[in-house]
Amino acid sequence: MKISRRQVIHTGTALTGLSLALKPEQLLAQAQAAAPTPANLVDTPPRTLADLPLAADGSAPEHAPGEAGGISEPTLWRYTKGQPPPDLEVDYRTLKVKITGGGVVKRSGTMTFADLEPLPRISHVFLLQCGAANPRGIVKWTGVRFADVANMLGVLPSAAYCRFVAVDRYWSDEEVKTVMHPQVMLAWMLNDAPIPPKHGAPLRLVIPFRYGARSLKAISEIQFTATSFAGPALPSV
């Protein structure tokens, strides 16, 4: 049985289940058994989120290079008991990312580091902050602007959404206009060294004006579409 990842994550028992690396359908079954849907509308307590300081225009503040340091624990991997997948290929020089064009990209297939290397290299020092108090850290990222990658791929104006898929099959959807922001990066260096496996080697998406969960680790696939993505099949009721 396949279910939507969002069905799992937005349930009360999801975090516990994810930490145990249960399958999504197991998580949903647990959540439904533990917290049945009320028969009427009820007040629910809001989640307390860590502060995500942003500039007045919604961008992420730049930090000085001297402020760069480590990222606090815990390290979050959704489906592999909090650890990087055991078969993760960590060398960015041999990375392979599947590009699914969806009819709105001129170039599709397999993107390698040889495709990224000629692009303008950039470095930024940003705060990485999850919705919880940790993980957190001000770090230096080095890589390329996603906008330059999109131009290299020939993303057409009709492309409206893109989906980033990680090696562990966690995924995140964004509007193309969001990831074309000049602060959004595909990074392979963290604090002037290759990104370690625990933080998303070999290639990580960096969206500094979103919570850290949106900065997807270990990208294995990027999909584009003009309309919507086909979601996983929902369980029959």
Give, for 148, the enclosing helix (H) or strand (E).
helix 146-153
Show the beta-strand stretches assigned E in 107-149. Answer: 109-112, 121-129, 136-145
Average pLDDT over residues 146-151: 98
Tell me if the pTM is above 0.85: no
Rounded to whole angstroms, how far apart are CA atoms 100 and 226? 12
DSSP string, 15-46: HHHHHTT--HHHHHHHHHHHSPPPSS----PP
Domains located in the chain, CATH noted: 1-37 (no CATH), 59-225 (3.90.420.10)
pLDDT tens figures, 37-47: 999 999 999 99
Residues 114 and 188 sit within 8 Å (Cβ to Cβ):
no
Higher pLDDT, 196 or 34: 196
Rounded to whole angstroms, how far apart are CA atoms 224 and 150? 10
Question: Does pLDDT of 2 surpass 90?
Answer: no
